[in-house]
Amino acid sequence: MCKEIVLDVHALTPPAPFEIAIEQVTQLQSGEYIKMLHRLQPFPLYDILLESGFRYKVLQGEFGFDIYIWLAKDKLAGERIRRFV
């Protein structure tokens, strides 16, 4: 079973969304993933995620973008995210 952690940062101004995302991804455990609600696409975050062993998927969402983030080695979370797309 996977656990979804929702980060609603759509109303925050930079750099707060970036800082919150970085803090939260470092705490992810196996079987967990983040759903970040953001009004913009945080392109600098994407490179850092990939370089640090994470994966992400972006979907159009209610507030702009729903960004799903999980550990690259976490097959369970990765499979759960792929079901959304």
Which tens digits make up the pLDDT trace of 26-77?
999 999 999 999 999 999 999 999 999 999 999 999 889 999 999 999 999 9
Strands (E), the chain: 3-8, 32-38, 54-61, 64-71
Query: Residues 11-26: pLDDT tens digits?
Result: 999 999 999 999 999 9
Q: How many residues does the chain have?
A: 85
Q: Nearest-CA neighbor of 42 among 64, 70, 23?
A: 64
The CATH number assigned to the domain with range 3-84 reads 3.30.110.40
Q: Where are the domains of the chain?
A: 3-84
DSSP letter assigned to residue 40: S
The pTM of this model reads: 0.94
